[in-house]
Amino acid sequence: MERLNEDERAAAHARLFCPMLVRAVPRWLARLGVPRCHRGDVAGQVWVNAWESWPRFDPKRGRPERWLNAITVHVAARYHERARHRGEVLVDLIEVFDPAPDAATAMESDNVRASTMDAVNDLDPDLRFVLVAHDLHGVPMAKIAEDAGLPLSTVYKRRTKAIGALRDAMRLREVGEISTQRVGSW
């Protein structure tokens, strides 16, 4: 009689630890309201409990699938009870905002950068020198005036003139791009 019970337990063990039931436990947990982000941990606890209580399993009392399902229900209930005591809000996965720019934004930024560089390169060399030295390289205006051998007021006037010329060039480029886009779309 003891041998028959051992054969039944071996067959039940083979049915219990098969891939189909391994995949079934997370589905049962989903139906029991366990969020996806916690299902792996809770499923692991189901299998630990099943392994620990396996010596007490009696195949005559029921199928191993029903026994495993009962363990799953019990573990899920304990999970929900602990979550309630922790004051934890059970949520599913949260979509995180990706701070990296998308492709269209990156292309537009590259186009603006290239257009600005072209506009700066088109400036009169005396104006470009002051603008690049001060605004890009951070050289103090007094140092630029000293190196160029010019009065400080002249250097400031050139910078103001360079900024105005750059602004005008950027506007012209923008208008040119808009009219090119209109012509290209017809």
Is the residue at 124 inside a domain? yes
Domain enclosing residue 34, as ranges: 2-86
d(CA 160, CA 47): 74
Q: Indicate whether 118 and 66 sit together in one domain.
A: no
pLDDT digits (tens, 9 = 90+) for 141-172: 999 999 999 999 999 999 999 999 988 888 88
Show the tokens assigned to 170: 């950027």
The CA distance from 56 to 58, in Å, is 6
Count of the separate structural domains present in the chain = 2
Instruction: Summarize the confidence of residues 99-120 as an average pLDDT.
Output: 79
Shared domain check, 143 and 173: yes
Q: What is residue 121's predicted lDDT score, i.e. its pLDDT?
A: 87
Amino acid occupying residue 134: H
Which pLDDT score is estimated for 45? 92
Region of residue 137 (left: phi > 0; alpha: psi -120 to 50; beta: else): alpha
Mean pLDDT, the chain, whole residue set: 82
Q: Are residue 123 and residue 154 in the same domain, yes or no?
A: yes
Q: For residues 49 and 87, give the distance between their C-alpha atoms in angstroms, rounded to a whole number.
A: 25
pLDDT at 23 over 80: yes
Q: Residue 7: pLDDT above 90?
A: no
- With a CB cutoff of 8 Å and minimum separation 6, the contacts of 57 are 9, 12, 64, 67
Say yes or no to pLDDT of 87 above 70.
no
At 73, which CATH number? 1.10.1740
pLDDT tops 90 at residue 174: no
Could you give the CA distance from residue 122 to residue 136 in angstroms, rounded to a whole number?
Answer: 16
Same domain, 82 and 107: no
Rounded Cα gap, residues 104 and 131, in angstroms: 30
